[in-house]
Amino acid sequence: MTPLLPSPDHYLYNLITMTSPEAKRLWRRAIKEHFNCQCVYCGETYELHELTLDHVHPRSLGGEDLTSNIVPACSRCNQDKGSNNWLTWMRQTFGLHPQREQLILSHIK
């Protein structure tokens, strides 16, 4: 079986992460602003500098360093989620929140 090569979109979405530190800072900011400076898990709004970026599918479990795998999260949620499955953890912690779940699902697909 021949391994699949990354798509052109993969390279376009991640080109900014392979460039200058300033571009990477702007990329991180753009992700936070795309979600209106809200933690995707708890839904609270934060200042830009208060948000971290979380890998929805943790790198330790094979998740990639792709824009489509990175979402803004408050420090508490990012730490508490750890390498747990995001949906299971989110439902156990906050209950069922279809709108926030759909927001994450539409971003990672």
The model's pLDDT over 40-67, given as tens digits with 9 standing for 90+, comes to: 999 999 999 999 999 999 988 998 888 8
pTM: 0.79
Residues whose CB is less than 8 angstroms from the CB of residue 16 and which lie 6 or more positions away in sequence, other chains included = 23, 24, 26, 27
Q: Cβ(73)–Cβ(41) under 8 Å?
A: yes
User: What is the model's pLDDT at position 23?
Assistant: 78
Residue-level pLDDT at 77? 97
Residue 95 confidence (pLDDT) above 90: yes
What is the dihedral sign for C-alpha 84, 105, 14, 8? positive
For residue 70, list its beta bridge partners: 55
57 DSSP assignment: S
Helix or strand run (H / E) with residue 105: helix 98-108
